[in-house]
């Protein structure tokens, strides 16, 4: 990674999401910051400790950006969209279909993100 600090990544992404929310609404902002950026960050955190250290702060900031109801609504929509994508695979897409191990890991990461975003309280040990 370049000289850019890991915390700067999620801070910039949250700032962008706030601008998206103001201009296009909460769904567009949620799709961007959770469906894309937070999920990518979760993947990186599973392999790189420097991302893993920043992951809780990213989650906390996203929780501040959306109401609990917005999060539940948009997470449910992301789940539906993912389910639709799985059932809608063309022959060309077969070449790019992820392995079952990769799909299982993506689902595990999504489930973890969902639980962290919708938990009543986040705690530390």
pLDDT tens for residues 68-98? Answer: 999 999 999 988 887 766 555 555 555 556 6
pTM value is 0.81
74 closest CA partner among 120, 123, 113, 122: 113
* Nearest-5° Cα angle at 35, 34 to 41: 65
Residue 56: which residues within 8 A CB-CB, separation 6 or more?
122
Any domain includes 125: no
69 occurs within a structural domain: yes
8 Å CB contact between 87 and 40: no
Helix (H, G, I), strand (E, B) or coil at 7: helix
- Assess if residue 64 is contained within a domain: yes
Structural domain contains residue 40: yes
The verdict on residue 1 lying in a domain is no
Identify the domain containing residue 112 by its residue range.
6-85+98-116
Residue 122 belongs to a domain = no
Residue 96 confidence (pLDDT): 59
Structurally, the chain folds into a number of domains equal to: 1
In a domain, 42, yes or no: yes
Residue 32 is predicted with a pLDDT of 97
Report yes or no on 70 lying in a domain: yes
Q: Which of 108, 120, 7 is nearest to 61 (CA)?
A: 7
Q: Higher pLDDT residue, 58 or 2?
A: 58
Tell me how far CA of residue 72 lies from CA of 50, 98, 118, 120, in angstroms: 29, 27, 7, 12
């Amino acid at each position: 990674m370049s000289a850019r600090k890991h915390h700067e990544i999620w801070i910039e992404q949250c700032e962008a999401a706030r601008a998206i929310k103001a201009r296009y609404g909460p769904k567009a902002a949620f799709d961007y910051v959770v469906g894309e950026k937070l999920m990518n960050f979760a993947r990186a955190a599973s392999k790189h400790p420097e991302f893993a250290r920043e992951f809780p702060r990213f989650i906390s900031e996203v929780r501040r950006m959306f109401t609990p109801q917005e999060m539940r609504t948009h997470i449910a929509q992301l789940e539906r969209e993912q389910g639709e994508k799985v059932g809608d695979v063309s022959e060309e897409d077969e070449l790019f279909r992820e392995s079952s191990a990769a799909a299982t890991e993506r689902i595990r990461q999504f489930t973890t993100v969902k639980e962290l975003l919708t938990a009543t309280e986040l705690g530390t040990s």
